[in-house]
Structure 1
């Protein structure tokens, strides 16, 4: 129960970092956070450790936890790298797909569809995470999978926020379907291209994300 509560708290703090309510360099005091969320310091401490592992919080000696969110230009660069890592994973998955990974991938695709049909962006996000991790695993390269997973975690709040943009869930699911079709067909380049386009945030999509961040900041002001 404590672990689940810590995950819920992590998500709440992630949202505040992503939307700018908690700013880079701001100190996160365990006692204040515990009082605000009505919990003990234990799940708060666990949530901050999870955020530190994702790179969104820095744990400093004598200062405790400090927000370390990226600025927009760094965020763009991180999404560019994430897109290439995902493309590599997709290419390898199309070459090395095992029957058990194919079954898991199809099931994850269906779970994403169910969440999208309910119009639940947070539920879709969690099913989406499972979907992508299966692709990492299916690629059969543990080092690459570890790098992709680490950056995925670093971008987690921004990827989740992006799903709240109008029609993004529907479009994301259509992209998932194209990715799965390419991987199952063994079409390595097509799988890589679809995943790269799916993850990359450029042009209008980056503008949509920045607009969402701006709206969230105004709402929290």
Structure 2
């Protein structure tokens, strides 16, 4: 049976801190619904009704695009060990980009992440727990290091180029709000000039 709360309490906050993965869901008024898994110690509880999570560079940028149209967001956490429980946080969210006034202060809350692209602040208006009887038991091993090694291989200039080329519009063609690259950051490479792997491990033909 579901139980609803107006805000996070100490018990639920501790549950969030114990999780190694969580899921983010957003949708614009039109187009596709997006659900993304997140890990890498990328979420912080800022208060009983506010959390922030850090987003690395990825193949898409759907969350940012959706929030510009419809700022609703749901975060879901599942217990994969111990007592079964599912925790959902509902609310409205907004993106924080590199160069915004809040960027440096929020970024300091997280471990270093090469390729950090944006952060999202969720203002929570409803907290809900429900049974996790259908969620299987898993044993945690470790976080993957591929995102960091990919960003290190490309370098800061290459990561920014990738973001400009792949992350400025969603799969439905919506703008994501990603800031344009500064003029002193160097030229943006075309896709035909990529010499490093894509996020899925493939290489663009030369």
Task: With the length of structure 1 as denominator, give the TM-score of the two structures.
Answer: 0.25
Bigger relative contact order, structure 1 or 2, given CA contacts below 8 A and separation 6+?
A: 1
- Which one has the bigger helix percentage? 1
Task: With the length of structure 2 as denominator, give the TM-score of the two structures.
Answer: 0.26
- Which one has the bigger strand percentage? 2
